[in-house]
Chains A and B, each alone.
Chain A
């Protein structure tokens, strides 16, 4: 065990985490150059495209230290890098004894990094500070190093200077991992306690569970038990996580590996749960397991109602990979049968949406996202509402409570004004400002989550030229004057277009939403009246004029051929339209709210 080093990497998006990880893999021979595909840890297409890590991964490396000629085993556990996935991060940290804190020498520290760093410190991880991208002309080693020293109270000499791109400093980094990350503790003789830090679904093999053995020993063939969900399986295959899975017979305390046990039941392998053996079970599970609570909700409907069951099975499969995704069936008058799904945040929602479309070839409609409200009715009854159409009529509502978050924004000081203005517009309550150094500020606000889920992050980024970073935590429910805003098309309410908004913003919101829908709904045979209403009161109106001309001028030899090909394309387009009453609504219209503020 004393030759094992389990560590993770803490870094802000774009600070070069994946490139540096690739370099470590290369130096330790975990991958050959031929296998080298840029950023090998991010193996989902989406991750590679967006340049962010969504799921936790782990990879085992062998390293012979030139200092003592001993062979060491490194387990690098790669963690997600977005505020939506804070819980997954905490579980991945729990599986490690050390953390590389990677800071872009040109950018300095950012909010996301700090939040993950604090978690790591809280869990007693040994922090190895690393300045990355020192080869860049914009690198300011002195300033970045000072920030790191202020933050974790280390000495300048303890900070490693590397470049993932050129490979400078990587050898020193490998040696520092050996010297500074403590070997894992744990007793192989104790009852088994294995922490699930992620699980992925494989069509043929069921759930593949990634674990860190905290105590005890797991043998191939053992009967095992998932403690929180209280389900039993057999460990049919166990092994180490290399580029290709490497089966083995025994995983001992301190080691990181995978377990496959024909777990077909979808909710049994939750991140944070403890695996133990049936024969000699642990008394207590590993502390810190929690049911992840979704923060953002939206409806997901198949465009073609016949695909309801396929959508269910696709969501179930995604859920296995992603225990934080929750969904229950619901019905919409406009969209038919679908699901109300809960997500950790907006990025999470976008990811699920994209994966449904890409990996499962689903044609879906997503409705306007909203947060969960607590409503006290006139009769004193309390209801929880995560779907605008469930909101009682205004006359029945006594009080509405909405979730608030504490947002920590780190930004270069020149953007303070713009960012504070944004927070005020979003009903934010100012808490304080702290100067991190001469040029960087930490601004704290309390904000209604509802105001953050839409496009707050995008706005924040655009107001600060990409420099500001955001981290937030839930702080509780507060009262707010919220109303349900309905959208009517040709006089018929379309439930899937309803949203819950702050009363003071309802008029502005309604007007903008109507205008956006006018843009998004194509002209059709008849005029379409678009109205926004609170209760019976129409507060805004717009019109999609009737289609006046849509006919090809020429239709001869080659034109017929062209026209037919166009027809095939249009047929596909039709599939992406939803007929609600007499009106055809394109998918994008159901998310009109999201693009409303971009104009």
Chain B
């Protein structure tokens, strides 16, 4: 059981807040697609070849910048080379301004069954501030077209906690989105990343980031409003109607193996009977990607990793069981399901120390965690999850 992530590094323009890897020039799109196909070929003859894939996620960048033919050729190649479940979750990220009925149909024909649409907000000024390429009306039209096109599932991205935003405007965004009845929503707090335009504006004091207290308030509003519409939080930023939770995201949190293709994509491989796992990524450079041959994903992981020193295009890190256990706490405690102590013990050989148990009991008494196994946060705890997880982890002698 595993997932495939494809990174399509093309965007119409740069969003103010975004620090994912992308290029705004479309010049190398065709060349990129060819290179990606070659990478698929190379990866299929490797330790991934016996893997059954149950999710494919085409992200970016903006994958909807690709032509219909490019999308279908990529998906076709994946199906040709790998074992992909017949009812696999195949998601593609799209932007409202790229959407036409023809394109929707072609994506459906290519096998995409779940769209992830970047709405972010319906507020015109805020869209401009974010330097998004679409208008509120384009967003509405796109959502209408998508619901008519009949995809199996849909998720819409929202961003809240923007400079100057109020809880009221968050409520308005959600109400507007609810008119289109999406079964899944990713609602992210705005993160000011240093290497973005937003980051530089904040540094220059041109923009005042929202206060944490205000963002916390808005987070409550998001959780509460979505719940009213039957959309439950299952992770810090992810909300779904029952059965519509993203399977692909789960792969990252449960340490399932995943294969990342394209510049900046991360891959992860762990033979579960071994005490080490490997995570590697392709460097975020389209130029380098195009100029270099695909990684030699050979038959055995160790052989692959041994060749790692020579890679120009990628970097790898080994993770030991303790690090993996910490990661599992880190990702799992962000989810509704939490992490079972038994799973930590058996899969990660990670035993909670007396200090940790004492601290966890304290958090339970204070209503920041639920009282029973698994280890999981209440919505109050979830708001300061990073702080609490760090405390939990550091309470274990290393």
Tell whether, in the assembled complex, residue B385 and residue A550 are in contact, meaning their CB atoms are under 8 Å apart.
yes
Tell whether, in the assembled complex, residue B188 and residue A549 are in contact, meaning their CB atoms are under 8 Å apart.
no
Write 25 A-B pairs (CB below 8 A) sorted by A numbering. A523-B212, A524-B387, A525-B366, A525-B387, A547-B384, A547-B387, A548-B216, A549-B215, A549-B383, A551-B236, A551-B386, A553-B236, A553-B237, A555-B235, A555-B237, A555-B330, A555-B331, A557-B267, A557-B268, A560-B266, A561-B279, A563-B327, A564-B323, A564-B327, A571-B398
Cβ-defined partner of A561 (8 Å) among B249, B266, B326, B383: B266
- With A557-B260, A560-B252, A563-B330 given, is the CB distance from A550 to B387 under 8 Å? yes
Report B-chain residues with C-beta under 8 Å of the C-beta of A563.
327, 330
In this complex, the member of B237, B331, B387 whose beta carbon has the largest number of chain A beta carbons within 10 angstroms is B387
Cβ-defined partner of A558 (8 Å) among B235, B253, B264, B384: B264
Tell whether, in the assembled complex, residue A551 and residue B384 are in contact, meaning their CB atoms are under 8 Å apart.
yes
- Chain B interface extent, by class: 35 or more
B binding-site residues for A, Cβ under 8 Å:
5, 188-191, 212-213, 215-216, 219, 235-237, 249, 252-253, 258, 260, 264-268, 279, 281, 317, 319, 323, 326-327, 330-331, 334, 366, 368, 382-388, 390, 393-394, 398
Tell whether, in the assembled complex, residue B213 and residue A548 are in contact, meaning their CB atoms are under 8 Å apart.
yes
A binding-site residues for B, Cβ under 8 Å:
523-525, 545, 547-558, 560-561, 563-564, 567, 570-571, 574
Q: A549-B219, A555-B330, A558-B264 are in contact. List 4 more A-B contacts (CB 8 A).
A: A547-B212, A551-B334, A558-B266, A567-B390
Minimal beta-carbon separation of A585 from chain B (angstroms): 15
How many inter-chain contacts with C-beta < 8 Å in the A-B complex?
A: 103
Tell whether, in the assembled complex, residue A553 and residue B216 are in contact, meaning their CB atoms are under 8 Å apart.
no
Smallest CB-CB A-B distances: 4 pairs: A557-B266, A548-B216, A553-B188, A550-B387
In this complex, the member of A545, A553, A554, A563 whose beta carbon has the largest number of chain B beta carbons within 10 angstroms is A553
Report B-chain residues with C-beta under 8 Å of the C-beta of A560.
252, 266, 279, 327, 330-331
Tell whether, in the assembled complex, residue A554 and residue B252 are in contact, meaning their CB atoms are under 8 Å apart.
no
Minimal beta-carbon separation of A268 from chain B (angstroms): 40
Cβ-defined partner of B386 (8 Å) among A523, A550, A557, A561: A550
Cβ-defined partner of A551 (8 Å) among B317, B368, B385: B385
- With A548-B384, A564-B330 given, is the CB distance from A574 to B252 under 8 Å? no
CA of A563 to CA of B189, assembled, Å = 16
Tell whether, in the assembled complex, residue B189 and residue A553 are in contact, meaning their CB atoms are under 8 Å apart.
yes
Report A-chain residues with C-beta under 8 Å of the C-beta of B215.
548-549
Tell whether, in the assembled complex, residue B237 and residue A554 are in contact, meaning their CB atoms are under 8 Å apart.
yes
Tell whether, in the assembled complex, residue A553 and residue B191 are in contact, meaning their CB atoms are under 8 Å apart.
yes
- With A557-B5, A571-B393, A571-B394 given, is the CB distance from A550 to B384 under 8 Å? yes
Report B-chain residues with C-beta under 8 Å of the C-beta of A556.
249, 252
Quick one: closest B residue to A575, CB to CB? B394
CA of A570 to CA of B215, assembled, Å = 23
Report A-chain residues with C-beta under 8 Å of the C-beta of B388.
525
Quick one: closest B residue to A558, CB to CB? B266
Report B-chain residues with C-beta under 8 Å of the C-beta of A548.
212-213, 215-216, 383-384
Minimal beta-carbon separation of B189 from chain A (angstroms): 5
Minimal beta-carbon separation of B188 from chain A (angstroms): 4
- With A561-B279, A561-B317, A570-B390 given, is the CB distance from A551 to B330 under 8 Å? no
CA of A563 to CA of B330, assembled, Å = 8
CA of A551 to CA of B25, assembled, Å = 34
Report B-chain residues with C-beta under 8 Å of the C-beta of A551.
189, 236, 334, 382-387
Report A-chain residues with C-beta under 8 Å of the C-beta of B264.
558
Tell whether, in the assembled complex, residue B317 and residue A552 are in contact, meaning their CB atoms are under 8 Å apart.
no
CA of A205 to CA of B253, assembled, Å = 56
Cβ-defined partner of A549 (8 Å) among B267, B384, B390: B384
Tell whether, in the assembled complex, residue A557 and residue B258 are in contact, meaning their CB atoms are under 8 Å apart.
yes
Minimal beta-carbon separation of A560 from chain B (angstroms): 6
Minimal beta-carbon separation of A207 from chain B (angstroms): 38
Report B-chain residues with C-beta under 8 Å of the C-beta of A570.
390, 394
Minimal beta-carbon separation of A555 from chain B (angstroms): 6
Minimal beta-carbon separation of A317 from chain B (angstroms): 28
CA of A550 to CA of B265, assembled, Å = 26
CA of A550 to CA of B215, assembled, Å = 10
Tell whether, in the assembled complex, residue B383 and residue A574 are in contact, meaning their CB atoms are under 8 Å apart.
no
Tell whether, in the assembled complex, residue B252 and residue A525 are in contact, meaning their CB atoms are under 8 Å apart.
no
Tell whether, in the assembled complex, residue B384 and residue A567 are in contact, meaning their CB atoms are under 8 Å apart.
no
